[in-house]
Amino acid sequence: MFSKLDFKKQPDELIQVDSHKKLDDRERRHLQHEFKIYMEQYFKQKLGKGVDYTKVIIWDDMLIIRGERFLTEPEVYIVKTPAGKEVVRAARMQVAWQHSIDNLPHFEERLKARAIHQVYDVEPENDFWIHVVIFDRILTE
């Protein structure tokens, strides 16, 4: 039930989310941790390299996921040139788009909410990416 990914680390218990109830602080923190592990495993499985730093924030009607230090060594080298920066950005934006396709249904199911808007961006020169999802209901107390 947790996900299609084969996790090595899973939270001890899954929080059962009710679409009619807002998450309390404990539930919010638990889901943030669950999504953090989920994202780290997703990128490691899909790209062979995980993100060195992942932060997940669930607040109000938003899910914010940010990652730092995700570029491979060759990409770090390529980014040092103006043309290379755009090549790496375009490639990583494609990865971000695919991540959204693959994972948005999981986030909607776990949060019992429908995504109504999302945006993601990649800054290869800063080795940083972000994905923000707005849902159709307030998620937190």
Per-residue pLDDT of 48-96, as tens digits, reads: 777 889 999 999 999 999 988 888 888 889 999 889 999 998 988 888 8
Confidence of residue 99 (pLDDT cuts 50, 70, 90): confident
pLDDT band at residue 5 using 50, 70 and 90 as cut-offs: very low
**Where does residue 1 rank: exposed (0-12), middle (13-18), buried (19+ CB within 10 A)?**
exposed
Is the whole model's pTM more than 0.85, yes or no?
A: no
Query: Residue-wise over 42-73: b if at least 16 C-beta within 10 A, else e?
Result: bbeeeeeebbeebebebeebbbebbbbebbee
Predicted confidence at residue 132, as pLDDT, reads: 96
